[in-house]
Structure 1
Amino acid sequence: MPPDTPLDPLDHALITALKRDGRASLSDLALQLNVTRTTVRTRLSKLLASGEIAGFTALTKGDLADSPVRALMMVAITGTGTDRTVSRILTMAPVQAAHATNGQWDVIVELATDSLETLDKTLTRIRRLEGVSHSETHLLMSTRRAQPTR
């Protein structure tokens, strides 16, 4: 699938099904999507080759135990150095991801740490970066995920 080829409804449905259950077999996906296993295998191969699906990952109990303190930090950045500031944020170990957004905040940062103390130190480091004008942080108390549909 060339990089400029738009995704069709079947591609979107396949991606949605895999987000719900990344372990689903080709047969299960074919049944859900009402297509053949060969169609699923071909589409999946093309989505992987094009980079539309970047990969698969597993989240273990250990991952959650190692970083039980999770938070979202909304960050406002002034000036023209947003890319540089975000690059610096991404070098910090507790940072899982940084999402560009619209509205009051420029970036939403996902954080996962082993303790509130480590979280506090990371928040302070981010707030002290050049260009960061203000921020707001929310602790994630619990997480519910969509269940696989089978």
Structure 2
Amino acid sequence: MFSNCKYIFIKMNPTDLHILNLLRENARMSITEIAEKVRASRATVQKRIEFMESTGIITGYTVKVKPSFEHHMIRAWMNIMIEGTRMQNIIKELRLQPEVNSLHSTNGKWDLLVELKVKNLEELDQALGKIRRISGIHNTETSLLLSTYKA
């Protein structure tokens, strides 16, 4: 399953980790503000961020949307059991489905955890049907996401 994966281990120092955590909290935080919080120069912070971007530790920046903003969206978690060695083919198929928000490989009874986002129950029903018809999917179990709580 992992034959095509490349693992690159990059040693990060405590300053790198601190910068990364600050950017996770607020990707729009200024270099000056980060430098003040980590007690380093602006040049050092800029250099460390550029390093993390160039090595692929930081792969991009995004916007987090408040879950209640998407109050008209229905979210569901679909657990999928896969037959044999069909994982990569199924992942390719799932990536083509517009309702699929995220994919996670897991261990245990289920092979994949798929987060779905749809506008209504009819769309959910159609999405589940399309996914269940993908060749190599052995079994599924779906749960609707009702509430989210901050940890």
Sort the TM-score into its range (normalised by shorter chain). 0.7 to 0.9
Aligned to 1:88: 93
Q: Deviations over 1:72-111 (max 9, x none)?
A: 2111111111100111011000112211121221111121
SS in 1 for 2:32: helix
Distance 2:149 2:34 in 1: 23
Aligned to 2:134: 129
**Where do 1:27-42 residues align within 5 Å?**
27-42=32-47
C-alpha displacement at 1:10, in angstroms? 2.4
Do residues 13 (structure 1) and 18 (structure 2) align?
A: yes
Q: Which runs of 5+ in 2 are unaligned?
A: 1-7
Residues 28 and 138 of structure 1: is their aligned pair in 2 closer, same or farther, counting only changes over 3 Å?
farther
**Where do 1:81-120 residues align within 5 Å?**
81-120=86-125
Query: What TM-score, normalized to structure 2?
Result: 0.81
Given candidates 72, 79, 83, the residue that maps to 2:77 is 72
SS in 2 for 1:72: strand
Paired-residue identity, %: 33
Q: Which region of structure 1 is more displaced relative to structure 2, 72-81 or 133-142?
A: 133-142
C-alpha displacement at 1:144, in angstroms? 4.3
SS in 1 for 2:24: helix
Q: AA paired with 2:90?
A: T
Distance 1:37 1:104 in 2: 48
Query: What TM-score, normalized to structure 1?
Result: 0.82
Distance 1:92 1:52 in 2: 27
Q: Which runs of 5+ in 1 are unaligned?
A: none
SS in 2 for 1:31: helix
SS in 2 for 1:93: coil
Aligned to 1:46: 51
C-alpha displacement at 1:26, in angstroms? 1.4
Root mean square deviation, CA, Å: 2.4
